[in-house]
Structure 1
Amino acid sequence: MCDERTDKDAEAWFRSAGINRRDFGKLGLGAAVAAMLPLGARAQGLVESDVTVKTPDGEADCFFVHPEKGRYAAVIMWPDIFGMRPAFRQMGRRLAGLGYAVLVVNPYYRTMKGQLVPDDATVIGPELRKEIFPKAREQAGTLSPATCVTDGRAFVKYLDRQPSVDTGRKIGTAGYCMTGSYTFRLAADMPERIGAGASFHGGGLVTDREDSPHRLVPEIGAGFLVAIAENDDERYPEAKSKLREAFENSGAQAEIEVYDNAMHGWCPPDSMAYNREQAERAWSRMQLLFEKHLA
C-alpha cells in the first residue's frame, strides 16, 4: 500500500539502483520497454487509440491497443495510484504485442481527465513524486469497491463490442498497487466473463472488512496471480497465508508469491522502486497465466 513508509523504501531503492535508472533515461521509456519485447511481438503491427468508454458515472478516457488483424482475448489494465501515463501505455502495447486486446483505463475519470505524470517523465523520482503524490492520494480517495465494479462492468461491455475482441474467450484483468484489489472485485462480480486476474504489489487484499478482497475468493472462478512486494510482506506477513487459504478452500487456481528484494511499486518501469529482474519475472508469470486461462 502506498504511504510514507513505502515511499521511503522506494526512494532508498531508487538511490541504490542509479545505474539501471540512468540506462532507462538514456533509452527513453518507450525504447526501454520495447527492448524487453520478444522479436515476434515487436514485429507484429498494432493499432492503438485514445477512446472514451461510457460508464454509469460519466465517460472514462482510456487507451486501447490490439494487433492489427484478427480477434483476441481482452485484458483490462488498471494503473497504480499515479494513474494513466506513458509507462502504462507502453505496458499495454507490450501486452498487445503478445496477442491481446488491451484496455488501459483512467480510474480517475470522474474528477480528472488526462494524467498526473508528465509525458516526458522517464521516472517518477523523489521531486516529482513529492509534487504529485498528494494529488494522487486525493484522486484515489474518490474511488470505492462499488466504483471499481460499475466501471469494470462498463469496460467489459465496451470490450465485448470491439471487432478485435474474441468474445468466445474470457477476459483478463491486471491491477497494480491500489488496483490490485480491483482484479479480485471484478472477477468475483463477473465470474462468467473474467478468466484471469493478476495483482502486482496490490494493497488491501486482506483486511478485517466484510468486503475484503480475500473474502470474495469463493465467488471467483478465474485463475489468479498475486505478486507481493517484500516490504509489503514484512508489514503484513499474514496476508499471503490468508490468501492461500482462501484460494485452497475455494478450489480456484492461484499463484501467490513474495518477490524477494522487490519493493512496493517494483513493476511499472517509471517507478522509483522499479526492479527490472523481478518485474520481468512477474511479467512472465502474468503471460503464462493469461496463456492458460484466456485460451
Structure 2
Amino acid sequence: MCDSEIHQGLVETSELSRRAFVMAGVAAAGLATSAFAENVVETDVTLKTPDGDADAALFHPEGKGPWPAVLIWPDILGLRPVFREMGRRLSNEGYVVLVPNPFYRSKRAPVVDGAFDFNKPEDRAKVMGFRQAMTDAGVDKDATAYLAFLDRQPQTDKKKKAGVQGYCMGGPLSFRTAAAVPGRIGAVGSFHGGGLVTAEQSSPHLLIAKTRAAYLVAVAQNDDARQPEAKDVLKKAFETAGRPATVEVYPADHGWCVPGSQTYNEVAAEKAWGELLKLYKANLT
C-alpha cells in the first residue's frame, strides 16, 4: 500500500495540505443535521465478518420497500457523522444503504477524535496503521459480508443489482467490491479515489475485467496533475473489458465531495452526486 492509496494529491506538506487535514470540525461537519432524516430510518448495527464484528450504520426509507442496496466506503477517517449524513441522503433517494467502519479490526467508530493533522507523523501513523490492517483479501471478505448483510434486510430488493461507492481510499475498495461479488454489483462510483492505477499486480484497475458493473470515476484535478496518465489507463482498461464507464477530471481538489472538508467544493460535489444518482438509476435494475 502506498501513500497515494490513502490520500493521493494531498500527501505533500504544503499549507493547503496541512489545513485540509486539520480535522477538528470535519468529524462532526456535514449537511444540516436531520436534513434527510425525516423519511429515513437509521440503525446502528454490528455484523459478523470472517475477521470479526464490524460496526456500521444502516439506512433505509420508511415503509416496506423493497429498494436496491448500496454500500458506501468512507475515506481514511472512516465512519463519522458526515458519512452518516451522506448515507441518509442517498437512502432518501430510495436505497438501502450500509456505511461500515472499515477499521473495525482496530477500533470502533469514530476512529479519530478531535483535531487531526495528516502531516503530523503521530496523527498519520494512527490512520496508516488502521489501513494497513486491511489486506486485499480482508477487504474482499468484508465486501462479501457487507453485501450479504444488506441482502438479509427485508427492505432490500435482491432482484435488483446493488451499488457501491467510495471516497479517497474508498475508491479502490469499491473496485475490489465489484470484483469480489461481480454477480451482485451493477454500478461503481469512485470519488477522488487514490491509487486506482498503480504499478503493482494488485492495482485496482486490473480488477475491472473481473467485474460486471458500470462505472463513474470522478478524479480530482490535483490528483490528475500528479498522475496524468492514470485516467487514460483507466479508460483503456474499461474499453478492453467492455465495461461502460465515465472517467472525468473535476475542477476541484482531492476531498471535494466530503462536506466539511477544507477542499469541499459544493458545485462540483453536487454535480458528482447528480451523476451518481443517474448511474444508479440506470444500472441498479
TM range (shorter): 0.7 to 0.9
Amino acid at match of 2:192: H
1:15–1:184 CA distance, 2 compared to 1 (3 A): closer
Say if 2:133 is the partner of 1:139. no
CA distance in 1 between counterparts of 2:61 and 2:134 reads 31
Equivalence for 1:84: 79
Preserved contact between residue 118 and residue 124 of structure 2 (Cα < 8 Å):
no
Q: 2:60 aligns with which of 32, 45, 66?
A: 66
For residues 224-270 of structure 1, the C-alpha deviation after alignment (integer angstroms, 9 at most, x for no partner) is: 0111111111111110000000101111110101111x111111113
Preserved contact between residue 160 and residue 284 of structure 2 (Cα < 8 Å):
yes
CA distance in 1 between counterparts of 2:87 and 2:148 reads 19
CA distance in 1 between counterparts of 2:190 and 2:19 reads 26
Displacement of 1:152 after TM fit? Answer: 0.3
CA distance in 2 between counterparts of 1:144 and 1:134 reads 17
Equivalence for 1:39: none
Say if 2:259 is the partner of 1:255. no
> What is the SS of the residue equivalent to 2:154?
coil
Preserved contact between residue 197 and residue 222 of structure 1 (Cα < 8 Å):
yes
Percent same amino acid among aligned pairs?
A: 45
CA distance in 2 between counterparts of 1:131 and 1:112 reads 17
CA distance in 2 between counterparts of 1:241 and 1:192 reads 27
Question: Over the residues paired in the alignment, what is the CA RMSD in angstroms?
Answer: 2.7
> What is the SS of the residue equivalent to 2:169?
helix
Residues 227-246 of structure 1 mapped to structure 2, 5 A cutoff: 227-246=218-237
For residues 166-185 of structure 1, the C-alpha deviation after alignment (integer angstroms, 9 at most, x for no partner) is: 10011100111112011111
Equivalent pairs, count: 276
Say if 2:123 is the partner of 1:163. no
For residues 171-201 of structure 1, the C-alpha deviation after alignment (integer angstroms, 9 at most, x for no partner) is: 1001111120111111122111001111111
CA distance in 2 between counterparts of 1:168 and 1:57 reads 28
> What is the SS of the residue equivalent to 1:149?
helix
Q: 2:91 aligns with which of 79, 89, 96?
A: 96
Equivalence for 1:194: 185
CA distance in 1 between counterparts of 2:270 and 2:18 reads 17
Displacement of 1:155 after TM fit? Answer: 0.4
Preserved contact between residue 79 and residue 175 of structure 1 (Cα < 8 Å):
yes
Structure 1: give runs of 5+ residues left out of the alignment.
17-23, 36-41
CA distance in 1 between counterparts of 2:243 and 2:118 reads 43
Structure 2: give runs of 5+ residues left out of the alignment.
none
CA distance in 2 between counterparts of 1:72 and 1:87 reads 23
Equivalence for 1:12: 16
> What is the SS of the residue equivalent to 2:237?
helix
